[in-house]
Structure 1
Amino acid sequence: MPSPEARRIRTVFAMNPVHLPRLFPPRLMERLRRTADVDPGVVVRDPTGAAGTAVAGRLAGAEVLITGWGCPHLGAWAAAAAPRLRAVLHAAGSVRALVGEELWERGVAVSSAAAANALPVAEYTLGMILLTGKDAFALRERFRATGAPLSPADTAGVGNHGRRVGVIGASRVGRRLLELLRPFDFEVLLHDPYVSDAEAAGLGAAPLALEELLRRSDIVTLHAPDLPETRRLLDGPRLALIRDGGVLINTSRGALVDHDALTRELVSGRLRAVLDVTEPEPLPAGSPLHTLPNVFLTPHIAGSLGNELERLGLTVVEELERLAAGLPPDHLVRRADLARVA
């Protein structure tokens, strides 16, 4: 924590201002302003409207941009408008589409709160794994329709004892999920081409090729980044490898799945799915996935929402305090990593 006498870092917010109160509630904003010379009333959202405004004046002296959802792409305009800029602290996840070549070339440090955002996604996924293992959604619908108690035959295939969970992608979310799965009585499988067998074992998972993981898993959960090589990663033939009655959970990106092929599998009743992301998003009103009893569809809620946003703001405040102390950001994003991370 910098001393009260330390020079505050000239900082500008760049995001949709509607997010500011939850990212930085009063006590956290007060802590931020002990390190940052920042005006919460001046927020960059439209770079074309910055010239001749208070925003342009603030940008001219800005050393740090605190960005978030609704921030414009930080391309040539940002490099020109903020010649003293030395860091972008992103109070959200991916910076892939946010930071332009001009800032990378200039050596601007880029930090992301992706690690903080990974926790609620992993928590959501864990909850869904446990609930689908108990077949909670289908049994709830049955109970709602009939009111009849369950017989042993109704629950013969239900339970989480020894259930095989296949995790695709040891991303930040994937790794947090692997941590959360440790106390439970699951057999955990992992596919990630960048993770060695020894590292997978250290994460508590058995490494497998993708096709073998799909064949062996009761529940498959996606945590890979959306890259050209991962688009339609789960196509029709691969979805067909998942056992009858298996579950697919997607909290990553809809583009990782061939949704026409998935829809066919779900309409047939062969698979079940928990989908927090889809392609397109949202789905058309006429999509059968809205009403299928074997589909649990949520509106992209796994990531940080409500009071969870403060965790992202706290990450940014801590990063700024590190900069003020002469230290590098703790959650630095390296340009070279963008080829394989979200």
Structure 2
Amino acid sequence: MPHATDNRPKALLAMAPGIAERLLAEHHRTRLAALTRTDPRLVGHDLAAPTPEVAAALAEAEVLFTCWGATPLTAEVLAAAPRLRAVVHAAGSVKHHITDACWERGIAVTSAAAANALPVAEYTVAAVLFANKRVLHSARRYRELRADHDWLDELDGTGNYRRTVGIVGASRIGRRVIELLRPFDLDVTLYDPYVGAEEAAALGVRSASLAQVCADSSVLSVHAPQLPATHHLIGAEQLALLPDGATLINTARGSLVDEDALLPELVSGRLHAVLDVTEPELPSPQSPLYDLPNVLLTPHVAGSLGNELHRMADQSLDELERFARGLPFADPVTPGALRHSA
């Protein structure tokens, strides 16, 4: 139904081909159309070389509704969007497409990083509990033996009671992992150079140096952002500090772990690993990671998949509604915070 006085902002979807169909269910498209003056079926896949229809929509757009594969918003792209005032990103990191030109224009930015953090944290907690219980080892051995066996003897010393879990990085995901681990009989330690002892205590964890966290942990889970300062944050020195039989979990970025240092520890069997990300992101076909019995390797699936994309859509539409009502974003992205986040 047309509005008598239609002050709704004009918006344009901008993301890679095929993403909008997965991100937006029919009720999301209905809500998008109600909140904005836009065609919820029109998607700009390449704003640097748009089709005439997309170029016309971009010229009128006050807000871009983006997701994975969005075009980098360079000064040239922004010149074709003179009315643009905001970017609502229905995914996690905005580093791929938000440029200095956006901040120079004063464009407001928000992302669904909080929504995307939830499935990553859930994956991590499942990995922690399975790691200490040696579930993957038990399943593999059971499949091999197919006979009676003294599991109490073989699994002596395993379990989650009073184990220490080390968290590297009090990011959104790291904090959510800490929260989800709270009901279990686990001791959680944290390394984050930006979090002091008082804040760590408020989170219910103990703050310690990276070396101490590594030395104490039966499971070490990495949740720091990908920055020049965090490249190979977990290297040979840190891995050597992990106790025999410890498990490294990485759901952050592959570059945070020195894979050349990790592989010998895994091949020897001294350490275990749960790796949802690697460096490079797709290991070579010859990589031992595919076949090592003490490694759970998954193809970057910890984040939002399937119907979990709808959670990101819901949060983003909430933010779009705030923008349409003239309110500030509830979860804004700022250039200062972006320098220290994913």
Q: Do the two structures share a fold, i.e. TM-score over 0.5?
A: yes
Deviation at 1:240, TM superposition (A): 0.6
Q: Is the 8 A contact 2:322 2:328 kept in 1?
A: yes
- How many aligned residue pairs are there? 339
Q: Which runs of 5+ in 1 are unaligned?
A: none
SS at match of 1:88: strand
Tell me the equivalent position of 1:36. 36
Are residues 1:295 and 2:298 paired? no
SS at match of 2:195: coil
User: How far, CA to CA, are the matches of 1:279 and 1:4 in structure 2?
Assistant: 55
One-letter amino acid of the counterpart of residue 108, structure 1: I
| More displaced stretch, 223-232 vs 92-101 | 92-101
User: How far, CA to CA, are the matches of 1:125 and 1:151 in structure 2?
Assistant: 26
Tell me the equivalent position of 2:94. 95
Tell me the equivalent position of 1:76. 75
RMSD: 1.3
TM-score normalised by L of structure 2: 0.97
Tell me the equivalent position of 1:145. 144
Are residues 1:188 and 2:188 paired? yes
User: How far, CA to CA, are the matches of 2:197 and 2:22 in structure 1?
Assistant: 41
What is the correspondence of 1:255-266 to structure 2 with a 5 Å cutoff? 255-266=255-266
SS at match of 1:194: coil
SS at match of 1:180: helix
Q: Do the aligned partners of residues 114 and 12 (structure 1) sit closer, same or farther apart at CA in structure 2, a change above 3 Å counting?
A: same
Deviation at 1:197, TM superposition (A): 0.7
Deviation at 1:42, TM superposition (A): 2.2
Are residues 1:250 and 2:250 paired? yes
Q: Do the aligned partners of residues 4 and 115 (structure 1) sit closer, same or farther apart at CA in structure 2, a change above 3 Å counting?
A: farther
Tell me the equivalent position of 2:323. 323
One-letter amino acid of the counterpart of residue 90, structure 1: H
What is the correspondence of 1:307-322 to structure 2 with a 5 Å cutoff? 307-322=307-322
Q: Is the 8 A contact 1:230 1:256 kept in 2?
A: yes
User: How far, CA to CA, are the matches of 2:215 and 2:198 in structure 1?
Assistant: 22
User: How far, CA to CA, are the matches of 2:230 and 2:4 in structure 1?
Assistant: 49
Deviation at 1:5, TM superposition (A): 6.0
Per-residue CA shift, 1:68-99, capped at 9, x if unaligned? 11111111122111101000001111112211
Deviation at 1:48, TM superposition (A): 3.8
Tell me the equivalent position of 2:237. 237
SS at match of 1:296: strand
Deviation at 1:101, TM superposition (A): 1.4
User: How far, CA to CA, are the matches of 2:156 and 2:216 in structure 1?
Assistant: 19
One-letter amino acid of the counterpart of residue 42, structure 1: L
Tell me the equivalent position of 1:283. 283
Deviation at 1:32, TM superposition (A): 1.6
Q: Is the 8 A contact 2:46 2:71 kept in 1?
A: yes
Tell me the equivalent position of 1:127. 126
SS at match of 1:77: helix
Deviation at 1:24, TM superposition (A): 1.3
Q: Is the 8 A contact 2:33 2:40 kept in 1?
A: no
User: How far, CA to CA, are the matches of 2:334 and 2:4 in structure 1?
Assistant: 32
Q: Do the aligned partners of residues 136 and 34 (structure 1) sit closer, same or farther apart at CA in structure 2, a change above 3 Å counting?
A: same
Per-residue CA shift, 1:292-320, capped at 9, x if unaligned? 00000001000000000001111110001
Q: Is the 8 A contact 1:89 1:110 kept in 2?
A: yes
SS at match of 1:17: coil
Deviation at 1:18, TM superposition (A): 0.8
| More displaced stretch, 36-45 vs 249-258 | 36-45
Q: Is the 8 A contact 1:168 1:220 kept in 2?
A: yes
Q: Is the 8 A contact 1:4 1:34 kept in 2?
A: no
What is the correspondence of 1:196-235 to structure 2 with a 5 Å cutoff? 196-235=196-235
Deviation at 1:108, TM superposition (A): 0.1
User: How far, CA to CA, are the matches of 2:39 and 2:244 in structure 1?
Assistant: 56
Deviation at 1:281, TM superposition (A): 1.2
Per-residue CA shift, 1:212-241, capped at 9, x if unaligned? 000001000000000000000011111111
Q: Is the 8 A contact 2:48 2:77 kept in 1?
A: no
User: How far, CA to CA, are the matches of 2:120 and 2:184 in structure 1?
Assistant: 18
Per-residue CA shift, 1:181-207, capped at 9, x if unaligned? 111110000000101111111111100
Q: Is the 8 A contact 2:61 2:81 kept in 1?
A: yes
User: How far, CA to CA, are the matches of 1:275 and 1:150 in structure 2?
Assistant: 30
| More displaced stretch, 107-116 vs 38-47 | 38-47
Q: Which runs of 5+ in 2 are unaligned?
A: none
User: How far, CA to CA, are the matches of 1:213 and 1:324 in structure 2?
Assistant: 46
Are residues 1:12 and 2:18 paired? no
TM-score normalised by L of structure 1: 0.97
What is the correspondence of 1:134-173 to structure 2 with a 5 Å cutoff? 134-148=133-147, 149-173=149-173
One-letter amino acid of the counterpart of residue 128, structure 2: I
Q: Do the aligned partners of residues 156 and 17 (structure 1) sit closer, same or farther apart at CA in structure 2, a change above 3 Å counting?
A: same
Q: Is the 8 A contact 1:232 1:258 kept in 2?
A: yes
SS at match of 1:37: coil
Q: Is the 8 A contact 1:249 1:275 kept in 2?
A: yes
